[in-house]
Amino acid sequence: GWAMEDVVDEEIKVIKGTVGLEDHVICALSGGVDSTVAATLVHKAIGDRLHCVFVDNGLLRYKERERVMDTFERDLHLPVTCVDATEQFLSKLKGVEDPEMKRKIIGKEFICIFDDFAQDLEKKLGRKPSYLVQGTLYPDVIESCPPPGSGRTHSHTIKSHHNVGGLPKDMKLKLIEPLKLLFKDEVRQMGRILNVPEAFLKRHPFPGPGLAVRVLGDVTQENALDILRQVDEIFIQSIKDAGLYDIIWQAFAVFLPIRSVGVQGDQRTHSHVVSLRAVTSQDGMTADWYPFEHKFLNDVSRKICNSVRGVNRVVLDITSKPPSTIEWE
Ligand code: XMP
């Protein structure tokens, strides 16, 4: 609505005033809605003194890098450096099975890459960038600093959440958090005004540690990541085709670190098992598993086993949150 247009104009003015005419600003894009809208807003305010980086950590979904880079460059004209750090991440994760350990390694690696990016930029510009853009939302602000007596627990005590926001503390960058008074639906509204494509604004949330928390155990086992990408893409495409994408909060596949016996053609197989998960939710704090139609499930399961080599069994996760979390790790 027009009120949000005023918010956008006001924010742009504030950012211009804060950054001034000479300082440079950096931003880590995750491919999610929040960092994208925040960066687009800052770009409107200061143009190419904004420098964004997108890190391919090798844990992204099928064609994700191409898809988001396309949106950044073609639709939003954002100045983005894409860093392919697949080898760097996967070599550090090799053999690691503990979920918390995986998250810590990914967070640390991300900081190293971001540090390198900032240093390279400093060499190129002959001056240090002064500001860092973060897509922090109002609920994040409340969550990391719960009002006294609210009874809200810090969700970080349950899992160490990694966002691209977790950045080096010794970097001495001042923060720009243009979304920190907004709720998610307001960020989407702002995105619309800034011409972020509608399909992008409606994308399901995706965790910072990516597919690492959806391959149970060692992410480098067999060709787990490759299998998971194919299965996930079939599942998501089927959900879109059935017109269910927008009513589901999040849907994805999980690679299980076991094999089961099957029969395909006249061959006995001993192959991988994947689980499908889809939930509805308001805010991710609680969630209900989504009751797909029998035919939908049957078609998806067939399609997966017929087209993804190495998978002979598909199971469905029918647990809500609580007692489960949305992700499996
Ligand atoms: P859980 O699994 O805790 O997830 O029920 C709640 C929501 O948070 C997302 N999630 C994460 N997002 N970094 C993120 O940026 C993380 O480490 C992370 N872990 C979970 C999850 O996908 C769901 O939307």
Give 207-240 pLDDT, tens digit per residue. Answer: 999 999 999 999 999 999 999 999 999 999 999 9
> What pLDDT, on a 0 to 100 scale, did the predictor assign at position 146?
56
- Is the per-residue pLDDT at 163 higher than 70? no
**Terminal-to-terminal C-alpha distance of the chain:** 39
**For the chain, which domains are there?**
2-201 (3.40.50.620), 214-316 (3.30.300.10)
- Taking the CA of residue 161 as reference, the ligand 1 atom at the shortest distance is 17
The interaxial angle of helices 294-307 and 224-241, nearest 10 deg, is 140
- CB neighbour list of residue 112: distance below 8 Å, 6 or more residues apart: none
Q: How many helices and strands (H and E) does the chain possess?
A: 10, 9
> What pLDDT, on a 0 to 100 scale, did the predictor assign at position 170?
67
Give 273-300 pLDDT, tens digit per residue. Answer: 999 999 999 989 999 999 999 999 999 9
The model's pTM is 0.91
C-beta 159 within 6 A of ligand 1: yes
The interaxial angle of helices 86-93 and 99-125, nearest 10 deg, is 150
Mean pLDDT of the chain: 93
C-beta 326 within 6 A of ligand 1: yes
Which amino acid residue places its CA nearest to atom 4 of ligand 1?
Answer: 326
